[in-house]
Every structure is written in C-alpha cells, then in structure tokens.
C-alpha cells in the first residue's frame, strides 16, 4: 500500500486518507461508493464521529455531565443512533427533531429542547414524553410554557438561556451571544426572569444556559461567557433560586481552511479549572456540541460534468449544488475540494467549482487548483455538518444519498430522493 505524499494529504480530516492513489474514508474507497450509489453522495466516518465525541468525554471525565449532540447539525437517523449508543444525549430545536430523537430510542430525560420559537403543540409534545429540560429564550415563552404545563397538571423543567453579550468572533449569521442577536435573555434581565420563573406553579427551575455562536476557534470567548454566567449564578442563588446544572452550549469550530480551534478535551480541562477556582466544581455540566462532532466526519462526492474555460474565470461544473451544500452560498464558507483519484502527472488549472442550479450564488469553491477531466469525482471535505440537514429540493433536485462507513463496511443510511418522494404530498387541481 502506498500513501499519497504532499500538501493534499497533510490537510485531510482524520480518517480520510489517500491509499494506493485513491481517496478512502476509513477502509472504504470513495470511488467505489460513487460508482455504486451515484453522486452527489454524502459519506460519513463513524470512527471520526466517535473520536470527536471521545475528546469531550475525556475532558469531562470525573464530572457529572451530559453531552447533548445538537442534532440540527446533521439529523440523519443512523448518525443520531451512533452517537446515542456512544453515550450522547440530544439537543433539539423542533417537534420534528424530538420525533427523530425518539425514533432512535433515546431516554427523553436526556433531551434538551432549545430554540426561540417553540409552539404550544411542541411544548405539550415534549412534556408528554418527559423532556429533560426546556432552554427558554424569552419571558413570553416562559409564561406560555407555564400555562401549558399547568393545563397538563405538570411542571416543566426549565433553564433560561442567557445572552451574555460576548463576541464569539465568528460569522455574523452564526453569532448568537450579542445584544443584537435574537437569542436568549439580556444579561441585565436574567435575575428578574429567574425570580419570576421560580414563582410560576407550572415551572421547575433546573439550570442556566448560554450559547454564544458557532465555528468558534478561540478559547477566550468561552472563558468570557463562563465568567458572566457564573456571576449570574451567584446572584440568582443569592436571591433564593437554586441552579442544578450549568449549560455552556456548543459552538466549537473545526478545521475548514487552516482553522486551529482548541481540542475539546483541552478546552474543557481549562474551563473546568476556571469553574473549580470559582467554587462551582460540584455542578452538573451540560454542553451541546454539533459541528465539532460530525463536521469533519463527512465528505460530499460530486462528479465533474463540464469544464468551461473563460476570459475572466474558468468554471468547473459539478453535479452537486447549493441545494446539497448550502454553506458556501449562505455563509461564503470554505470547504477543501480534492480529487478522489488524483491525476498526479496532469497540469492543474485554477477553477471556480460551481453547481448546475440556476443561481449565480450556486458555487462550492472559488479559485481552486485542480487537474481534472469530465467524469472525475471530487470530494468536498468537512461536509458532515449543516449540509445534508439544510439540503433542499430547489430546482426539483432530489436530495443526495448518504452512506455511513464503519471500518471496511459501508452502510446506505438514506436512499437517494426520487421525484415521487418529492411530489408525494402534492395534488393537481
């Protein structure tokens, strides 16, 4: 067996490698999966997900804790199942996600319900199954939840999400902890919100929650947010309201383009030292990682359809599009793109990698050096998070198939969506 040398190999995610001149996920060649299942195709490494989870588990070892995977990152049932079996709880933001959580057999007490717009129906649904906690994001939501719970003869376990006005230094669309964001309750209103919640007969205060954003690559914002939350816990408990658990959310980034986020175990060892120093070492900790568990575990395979050289730009047209990989169009996000079978002796050219959707915003990567021919298969790396979960049927395109790799075994976990699947609920006049 030979391993491809050079900068391409050095920038591959864990459990993705070139062997015998072809790209592999764990022990499975991606060219064979593209041939068997077609493209676009999402392929995930089970080992990569569990390795990322293990880093959090090491960091929190010896402490009472609950790691709830933020399933909005990727809610495919087999992925949820793999993470739940490995000890994860789940963080949900809708009734649909609750149904997915229950479908994989999770104990509902290990589910946290986040999100700013929970409906009464979703509240009833969660209370009926015995949800672990509601992360409440406004005073109005608190009052509605109190009313719903009292009507059912229950008490809803609640945690108030704090907006600490901490800059996560990330893209504005995925920043959630500033005053200008829609999330959480303003720092200065938190104490009065807790005393109000404690007086509501349909509520049971169990925790406090903070989530400042996504794709965070520095430790500083976490430390700042933790200090502000612990300051609030001291004030809340001085007012007679006990806090059982502290939820620090998620948001830890991954390496898309030379990003260097701290390792999860290193980050949490530092944060736990901070908690110990402030006298909170006995508190249960909840966290809600999403991207950092699944982002680097996934690749999207796409076939080169056409090469279109131009006077100002060269366009490399592939069969994956913004409906399959929304992040570049939405966030101007970067994903590395590499050939599945490299043409090592060919001359590379500079291409904008674009999809077939009728939008100028339909691009996957800009100014990429690639040596390719039509019919070649490319791998879009670090595509496990916020790609398939945000995929759509724009241009009446069926959503991609998904495969989960476990060692040398590959399991089809979602069939390719057909036109019949798309139109099943539609009716002609």
Q: Are 133 and 90 in contact (CB under 8 A)?
A: no
Known binding residue 288? Answer is: yes
Does 327 carry a binding-site annotation?
Answer: yes
Distance CA 301, CA 325 (A): 11
User: Is 398 flagged in the annotation as binding?
Assistant: no
Of 200, 210, 300, 358, which is the active-site residue?
A: 358
251 is in an annotated binding site: yes
For residue 331, say whether it is annotated as part of any ligand binding site. Answer: yes
| 358 a catalytic residue | yes
CB 327, CB 335: distance < 8 Å: yes
Handedness of CA 365, 213, 145, 106 (dihedral sign): positive
Q: Check the annotation: does 356 bind a ligand.
A: no
* 13 assigned to a ligand binding site: no
Residues in the annotated binding site for pyridoxal 5'-phosphate: 251, 288-291, 386
- Which residue numbers are catalytic? 358
Residues in the annotated binding site for substrate: 291, 327, 331, 359, 386
């Amino acid at each position: 067996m030979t391993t491809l040398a050079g900068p391409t190999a050095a920038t591959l995610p864990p459990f993705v490698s070139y062997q015998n001149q072809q790209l592999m996920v764990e022990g499975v060649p991606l060219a064979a999966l593209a041939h068997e299942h077609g493209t676009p195709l999402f392929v995930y490494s089970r080992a990569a997900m569990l390795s990322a989870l293990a880093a959090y588990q090491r960091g929190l070892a010896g402490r009472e804790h609950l790691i709830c995977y933020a399933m909005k990152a990727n809610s495919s049932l087999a992925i949820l199942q793999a993470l739940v079996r490995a000890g994860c709880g789940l963080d949900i933001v809708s009734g649909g996600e609750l149904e997915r959580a229950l479908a994989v057999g999770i104990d509902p007490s290990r589910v946290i319900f986040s999100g700013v717009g929970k409906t009464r129906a979703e509240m009833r649904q969660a209370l009926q199954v015995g949800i672990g906690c509601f992360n409440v994001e406004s005073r109005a939501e608190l009052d509605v939840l109190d009313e719903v719970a009292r009507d059912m003869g229950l008490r809803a376990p609640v945690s108030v999400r704090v907006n600490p006005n901490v800059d996560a230094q990330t893209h504005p669309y995925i920043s959630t902890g500033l005053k200008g964001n829609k999330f959480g309750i303003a720092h200065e209103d938190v104490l009065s919100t807790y005393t109000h919640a404690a007086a509501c007969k349909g509520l049971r205060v169990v925790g406090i929650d903070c989530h400042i954003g996504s794709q965070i690559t520095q430790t500083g914002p976490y430390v700042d947010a933790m200090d502000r939350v612990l300051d609030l816990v001291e004030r809340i408990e001085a007012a007679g309201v006990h806090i059982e658990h502290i939820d620090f959310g998620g948001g830890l980034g991954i390496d898309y383009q030379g990003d260097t986020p701290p390792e999860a175990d290193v980050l949490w060892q530092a944060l736990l030292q901070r908690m110990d120093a402030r006298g909170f070492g006995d508190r249960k900790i909840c966290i809600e990682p999403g991207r950092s568990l699944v982002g680097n575990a996934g690749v999207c395979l796409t076939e080169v359809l056409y090469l279109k050289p131009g006077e100002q730009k060269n366009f490399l047209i592939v069969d994956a599009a913004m409906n399959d990989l929304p992040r570049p169009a939405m966030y101007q996000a970067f994903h590395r793109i590499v050939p599945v079978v490299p043409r090592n002796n060919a001359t590379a050219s500079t291409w904008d990698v674009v999809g077939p959707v009728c939008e100028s915003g339909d691009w996957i990567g800009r100014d990429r050096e690639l040596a390719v021919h039509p019919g070649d298969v490319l791998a879009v790396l670090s595509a496990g998070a916020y790609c398939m979960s945000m995929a759509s049927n724009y241009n009446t395109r069926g959503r991609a198939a998904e495969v989960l790799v476990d060692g040398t075994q590959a399991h089809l976990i979602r069939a390719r969506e057909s036109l019949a699947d798309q139109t099943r609920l539609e009716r002609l006049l």
